[in-house]
């Protein structure tokens, strides 16, 4: 068993927003974004439990058993056989229930900070601990947001035994517009309405789209990636929660986007564009105007594929 003097006793980490699914890659694809970040500060204590001393920004539960970061950190403590406690502060800039990986950012922040304080775990173990944080918010330990939040880039999760995590590096012409509407959709709610089974033709369409998206990424073919951002099963099942989606897609493509999908379980949308041919500004403007026509305010972000979670100025209190 370790004690608090074995390693550094405080750390601060920064974790990016992420977008999962990207069309047909349900629970498989994830992309780190370079526009929004959360921070987690953690200090080991000689106490017996994890305490949350403050959350700045968006509201999240401060009761440790309901807080994704604290749950993920406690899984790391368990794995490392650490029997003491920690105190934590969080800065939440990624809105919960936005589809931008807010719970994943908290979970990765908690797991990575705890791992750094206790001498390190493998990336795979950090991801599994962060997955337990995700379970608190959505009842499911899916890793499609936590993988890019931790590793950066574009990630593909094969979540069966053995777990495979494939990470692909971004390419420079890939532009991203993310638009966050002023409506909330919880992942729990958006998963509860998913079908138990799907027609073979939709499964075939999704397999083609997911494969083409990856091929497009490898070939740096944004037009192919955009055409492939279509999910005939899960996104379709969620449309009653977000009936504006097909309007928004049409408008985005009309303004120069190669394709658009829900970001994760929504309500954010993510559009891809080729930076050599278009500017994100027009696409973002067209999407926010289309939301407004549907009676919804929204905020657009123009971004690129981001780096993964990292330690920042160790020891500083937020």
Binding-site ranges for ligand HSE (CB under 6 A) = 20-21, 26-27, 138, 142, 144-145, 187, 190-191, 264-265
Of 146, 170, 145, nearest in space to 22 by CA: 145
Hey, which residues does 168 pair with through a beta bridge?
Answer: 154
Two tokens at 209?
Answer: 């789209």
**Shortest separation between residue 138's beta carbon and ligand HSE, angstroms:** 6
CA distances from 264 to 8, 55, 222 (A): 35, 24, 20
How far apart are CB 314 and ligand HSE at their closest, in Å? 30
Please report which residue ranges of the chain form alpha helices under DSSP H. 68-80, 102-117, 123-138, 146-151, 187-192, 200-219, 222-227, 234-238, 245-254, 280-293
134 catalytic residue (yes or no) = yes
Q: Closer to ligand HSE by CB, 118 or 157: give it.
A: 157
Nearer Cβ to ligand HSE (193/316): 193
CB of 149 to ligand HSE, least distance (A): 11
Between 27 and 125, CB nearer to ligand HSE:
27
Number of alpha helices (DSSP H) and beta strands (DSSP E) in the chain:
10, 11
- Chain centre distance of CA 255: 26
User: Catalytic one among 18, 155, 187, 288?
Assistant: 187
Residue 17 φ/ψ, nearest 5 degrees: -65, 160
- Minimum Å gap between C-beta 83 and ligand HSE is 32
Minimum CB separation of residue 198 from ligand HSE in Å reads 15
> With contact defined as beta carbons under 8 Å apart, do 256 and 160 qualify?
no
CA distances from 235 to 26, 86, 122, 232, 309 (A): 9, 40, 33, 7, 28
Contact indicator for 19, 31 with CB cutoff of 8 Å:
yes
Please pick, among 132, 134, 235, 288, the residue that the annotation labels catalytic. Answer: 134
Nearer Cβ to ligand HSE (189/282): 189
Residue nearest to ligand HSE (CB): 264
The catalytic site residues sit at 134, 187
């Amino acid at each position: 068993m370790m004690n608090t003097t074995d390693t550094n006793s405080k750390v601060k980490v920064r974790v990016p927003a992420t977008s999962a699914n990207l069309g047909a890659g349900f629970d498989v694809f994830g992309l780190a974004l370079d526009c929004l970040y959360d921070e987690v500060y953690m200090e080991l204590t000689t106490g017996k439990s994890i305490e949350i001393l403050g959350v700045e920004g968006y509201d999240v539960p401060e009761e440790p058993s309901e807080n994704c970061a604290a749950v993920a950190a406690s899984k790391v403590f368990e794995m490392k056989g650490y029997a003491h406690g920690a105190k934590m502060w969080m800065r939440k800039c990624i809105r919960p229930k936005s589809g931008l990986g807010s719970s994943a950012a908290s979970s990765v922040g908690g797991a990575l900070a705890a791992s750094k304080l206790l001498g390190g775990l493998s990336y795979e173990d950090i991801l599994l601990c962060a997955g337990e944080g995700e379970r608190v918010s959505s009842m499911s330990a899916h890793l499609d947001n936590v993988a890019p939040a931790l590793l950066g880039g574009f990630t593909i999760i094969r979540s069966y035994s053995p777990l495979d995590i494939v990470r692909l590096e971004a390419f420079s012409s890939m532009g991203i517009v993310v638009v966050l509407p002023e409506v909330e959709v919880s992942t729990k709610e958006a998963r509860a309405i998913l079908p138990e089974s799907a027609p073979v033709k939709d499964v075939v369409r999704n397999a083609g789209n997911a494969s083409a998206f990856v091929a497009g990424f490898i070939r740096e073919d944004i037009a192919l990636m955009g055409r492939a951002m279509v999910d005939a099963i899960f996104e379709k099942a969620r449309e009653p929660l977000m009936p504006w989606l097909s309007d928004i897609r049409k408008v985005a493509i009309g303004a120069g986007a190669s394709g658009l999908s829900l970001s994760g379980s929504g309500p954010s949308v993510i559009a891809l564009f080729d930076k050599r041919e278009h500017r994100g500004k027009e696409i973002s403007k067209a999407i926010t105007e289309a939301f407004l026509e549907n009676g919804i305010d929204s905020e657009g972000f123009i971004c690129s594929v981001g780096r993964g979670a990292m330690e920042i100025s160790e020891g500083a209190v937020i």
